[in-house]
Amino acid sequence: MPRIVLAFVCAASVALGLSACADSTSHKHPPQDPPDYKGVPTDMTPPMIIAPAQPQ
């Protein structure tokens, strides 16, 4: 009997915990970028650490 009660309490607490972190539908508008946001940089080339040797 105590095992069944303990299992029920554990299952109920897990169910409540998972339902508490679910996204709510109370979003009134989509998030906006801040005014100074310039976008994601698209230059994927790594920065050059050592300057290339110049031919003489």
In this prediction, residue 22 carries a pLDDT of 61
pLDDT at position 21: 65
H/E stretch holding 12 reads: helix 2-20
**Structure confidence by residue, pLDDT tens digits, 5-54:** 999 999 999 888 877 666 666 667 777 888 888 777 777 777 777 777 77
First-last CA distance in the chain: 89
Residue 24: per-residue pLDDT: 60
pLDDT of residue 8: 93
The CA distance from 12 to 6, in Å, is 10
Q: What does the pLDDT read at residue 7?
A: 94
For residues 37 and 39, what is the distance between their CA atoms, to the nearest angstrom?
Answer: 6
Identify which of 25, 9, 27 has the alpha carbon closest to the alpha carbon of residue 17.
9
